[in-house]
Amino acid sequence: MTDSPHAARRARVARALQAGRGLALVPTAPETLRNGDAHHPYRFDSHFWYLSGFAEPEAWLAISHTGRCELFCRAQDPAHEIWDGARLGLQAAPAALGVDAAHDVRTLDELLPKLLAEHDSVWFPFGLHEGLAARVEGWLAKLRQRERSGARAPAALHDLRPLLDEMRLVKDEAEIALMRRAGEISAAAHVRAMQACRPGLREYQLEAELLHAFRWAGAAGPAYPSIVAAGANACVLHHPAGDAELRAGELCLIDAGAEFQGYAGDITRTFPVDGRFSAPQRELYALVLAAQQAAIGQTRPGARKIDAHWAAVRVLSQGLLDLGLLSAERHGGVDDVIESAAYRAFYMHGTGHWLGLDVHDVGEVLQRDEPAVEQPDGNGGRVVRAPSRVLQPGMVVTIEPGLYVRPSAEVPERFWNIGIRIEDDALVTPAGCELLTRGVPVAPDEIEALMRG
Ligand code: GLY
Ligand code: MN
Ligand code: MN
């Protein structure tokens, strides 16, 4: 069966293994204990899910260069299922998942050496699953013991990650549909939180609004711990929703996204707790929004991933000079501010990352096969770096500039403790990019109108 996206992806892996007559092994993630005998909510391994669409723990895929794919999974077991729910089981798995055969995962150590003996190389994700390399070694050792009776062990071990990472970097149609939905759900949750916001609430109460919206819409939950930051807490980049009170006159920064069918949304909005931006808040907000717009303009096929960052940095640096957060006397013009990295006092993170099954998704950022270039190192010197990845349609990146102003004698007091980030998710299209997360307003007037309504 090759009509599911998962089967099509497995077929691509098989084709890549043909030259080396390889076998690819991909386990899913283990269940993990939270405390006592209570588990964390189960989350499958992203590579495994990408290739199988199978959410149960204790499962493996073995994909041969021949195109044959075998699944190892939990056998049905009424005594366990009464506690933990139904298992797909060995009989139903081939038709449900389009694999050629399904085996009881308890037979892995018995069957894997036999399967490996039919292949010249073995591929698995290096450095991702604890104990996996040792387990493969054990199977190979078992085979080598039988060499005198004619068995042959694969002679080469390869890391499967670069192949899968490259595949996942450019999203297929099925993935794009899921990411659109993750973006919609995430945006609706931000709308709900903005509408619920009023002075006197606590950060955790807005987090509760987000969780409600995620689950109500059928998402698994948050794709990463939700950041809800009242006032000065916004200057802590990864401030988890805590118990701080939301106060009139201050901003609230929310960085939160839903995970839908494995795919992450990742949105940040910053809005006034009482529904009206003050003058200094609006000035800084307009600057971050202009920086985001500049970065969006650089998010198109043929541009390098880093171009969006430098476009945002240029706008922010000029604005920091214009608003007096950086003094021209001390720091010079915009080129000097960029060269010396003086802007990093207020903008210390990157402008975006790949997004997909992981919120910071897989995929190389640096393209190693292109000549190196020089860039500022942030300390007044220069470093030689490979150029950044060239964007192509189907890639998804976040675009998330920000400004974070801590109290300092060098900065006008009216800007103190303001932290602003604006983040949207962009699908690179043939013409430029499509923002998947604009179901929540970003323009200050529209945010105020939403909060009034
Ligand atoms: N929410 C994590 C990030 O924006 O990178
Ligand atoms: Mn992000
Ligand atoms: Mn984010």
Predicted local distance difference test score (pLDDT) of residue 385: 59
- Which protein residue has the closest C-alpha to ligand 1 atom 5? 360
DSSP summary character for residue 402: E
DSSP summary character for residue 358: S
Are 210 and 162 found together in one domain? no
| Other beta carbons within 10 Å of 29 | 17
Are 222 and 342 found together in one domain? yes
Tell whether the model's pLDDT for residue 1 goes beyond 60.
no
What is the token pair recorded at 453? 């309504």
Final residue of a domain: which of 127, 144, 167?
167
Q: What atom in ligand 1 is closest to the CA of residue 421?
A: 4
68: CATH = 3.40.350.10
- CA atoms of 186 and 438, how far apart (whole Å): 10
Are 317 and 398 found together in one domain? yes
Across the chain, how many H-helices and E-strands are there? Answer: 14, 21
Q: Which helix or strand (DSSP H or E) is residue 167 part of? A: helix 161-169
Mean model confidence pLDDT for the chain: 95
CB-ligand 1 contact for 240 (6 Å cutoff): no
Q: Which helix or strand (DSSP H or E) is residue 175 part of? A: helix 173-196
- Which protein residue has the closest C-alpha to ligand 1 atom 4? 266
Are 163 and 257 found together in one domain? no
Q: Which domain holds residue 101?
A: 5-167
CB-ligand 1 contact for 255 (6 Å cutoff): yes
Are 69 and 200 found together in one domain? no
- Please list, residue by residue across 270-300, b when 16 or more beta carbons sit within 10 angstroms of its beta carbon and e when fewer do: bbbbbbbbeebbebbbbbbbbbbbbbbebbb
Tell whether the model's pLDDT for residue 259 goes beyond 50.
yes
Report phi then psi at 153, rounded to 5. -90, 145
Domain count of the fold of the chain:
2
Are 140 and 222 found together in one domain? no
Are 155 and 180 found together in one domain? no
Report phi then psi at 390, rounded to 5. -85, 130
What is the token pair recorded at 352? 């975006």
Q: 355 CA distance to ligand 2 centroid (A)?
A: 8
Active site residues: 37, 238, 255, 266, 349, 353, 360, 400, 404, 421, 423
- pLDDT for 278-307, tens place per residue? 999 999 999 999 999 999 999 999 999 999
User: Across the strands, what pairs with 354?
Assistant: 397
Are 372 and 271 found together in one domain? yes
| Other beta carbons within 10 Å of 18 | 12
- Best residue among 190, 254, 266 to mutate for probing ligand 1's pocket (most ligand atoms within 8 Å of CB) is 266
Are 199 and 143 found together in one domain? no
334: CATH = 3.90.230.10
* pTM of this structure: 0.95
Final residue of a domain: which of 167, 188, 217?
167
Are 9 and 82 found together in one domain? yes
Sign of CA dihedral 70, 76, 81, 85: positive
Q: What atom in ligand 1 is closest to the CA of residue 255?
A: 1
- pLDDT for 68-106, tens place per residue? 999 999 999 999 999 999 999 999 999 999 999 999 999
Q: What atom in ligand 1 is closest to the CA of residue 224?
A: 1
Predicted local distance difference test score (pLDDT) of residue 184: 98
Predicted local distance difference test score (pLDDT) of residue 321: 98
Are 319 and 299 found together in one domain? yes
Final residue of a domain: which of 167, 182, 204?
167
Are 202 and 344 found together in one domain? yes
